[in-house]
Chains A and B, each alone.
Chain A
Amino acid sequence: MTATELKGTPVRDYLLHDKPFWRRILQSREAGLIGALVVVVVLSISFVPNFGQPITLTYLVQTNFPIFVMLLPMTLIVVAGEIDLSVGSVLGVSSVVFGLLYDAKFSLVLAAIIAVLIGAGIGAFNGFLVTVVGLPSLAVTIGTLALFRGVAVGLLGTTAITDFPVDITTNLQNTIGASPFPILTIPFVILTIIFIVILQFTSFGRGIYAIGLGHETAHFSGVTVQRTKFVLYVISGLVAAAVGVVFTLEYDNSIGSNGIGDELLVVTAVVLGGVSTFGGRGTVLGAIVGGLLIAVLTSALQLAGVGSNGISVVTGSALILSVIGSRVLEGLTRGRREKKIAAAIGGE
Chain B
Amino acid sequence: MFLRNMLPRKRRVVLGALAAVAAVAVLAGCASSTGKSSGSGSKNYKIAFVPKSLGNNYFKASDSGGSTAVKKFGGSYQEVAPATASPTGQVSFVQTLTQQRVGGIVLAADDPQAACTALNAAMKAGVKVVTFDSDTNCRSLFVNQVTPKGIAKSLVNLTGKALNGKGTVAIESGGPNATNLNLWIKYIKSYMASLYPGITIVTTVYGNDDAQQSLDAATGLLQKYPSLNGIIAPDTVAVAAAARYLSTSQYKGKVYLTGLGLPSEMRSYIKDGTVTQFALWDPSNLGYLAAYADKALIDGTITGKKGDTFTAGKLGKYTVGAHQTVILGPPTVFDKSNIDNYNF
Q: Is there a contact between chains A and B in the complex with CB atoms less than 8 Å apart?
A: yes
List the interface of chain A (C-beta within 8 A of B). 12, 15-16, 24, 27-29, 31-33, 35-36, 39-40, 43-44, 46-51, 53, 55-56, 59, 63, 153, 157-160, 162, 169, 173, 250-253, 255-258, 260-261, 274, 280-281, 293, 297-310, 312, 314, 317-318, 321-322, 324-326, 328-330, 333-334, 337-338, 341, 345
Contact residues in A for B98 (Cβ distance below 8 Å) = 55
13 extra A-B contacts, CB within 8 A, seeds A32-B13, A59-B99, A314-B27: A33-B14, A43-B25, A46-B29, A49-B35, A63-B95, A274-B12, A293-B21, A310-B31, A321-B20, A322-B21, A333-B11, A338-B4, A341-B3
Q: When the two chains form their complex, are residues A39 and B29 in contact, meaning their CB atoms are under 8 A apart? A: no
> What CA separation (Å) do A44 and B99 show in the bound complex?
14
- Residues on the A chain within 8 Å of B111, using CB: 160, 253, 255
Residues on B with beta carbons closer than 8 Å to the beta carbon of A310: 31
A50 to chain B: which residues have CB within 8 Å? 99-101
Which label, helix, strand, loop or mixed, suits the secondary structure of the B interface?
helix
Cα distance A56–B98 in the bound complex, in angstroms: 10
Asked whether, in the complex, the Cβ of A303 is within 8 Å of the Cβ of B86, the reply is no
Contact at B28–A55, with CB atoms within 8 Å? no
CB pair B17–A48 under 8 Å, yes or no, is: no
Is the pair B22, A39 in contact by a Cβ cutoff of 8 Å? yes
Other-chain contact of A304, B16, B35, B177 (Cβ < 8 Å): B35
Task: Contacts A59-B95, A255-B177 given; indicate if A304 touches B32 (C-beta within 8 A).
Answer: yes
Interface residues of B (CB under 8 A from A): 3-4, 6-22, 24-35, 37, 54, 78, 80-83, 86-88, 91-93, 95-96, 98-101, 111-114, 116-117, 121, 137, 176-177, 182
| Number of A-B pairs, beta carbon distance below 8 Å | 223
Contact check, A301 vs B176: say whether CB atoms are below 8 A apart.
no
Given A173-B117, A322-B17, decide whether A306 and B96 contact each other with a Cβ distance below 8 A.
no
- CA A303 – CA B80 in complex, angstroms? 11
> Is the Cβ of B13 less than 8 Å from the Cβ of A305?
no
CA distance A198 to B12 in the complex (A): 23
Which residues of the other chain, B, contact A281 by a CB distance below 8 angstroms?
9-10
Contact B113 A304 (CB under 8 A): no
Residue of B nearest to A213 (CB): B9
The answer to whether A302 and B96 have CB atoms under 8 Å apart is yes
A257/B87 in contact, CB under 8 A: yes
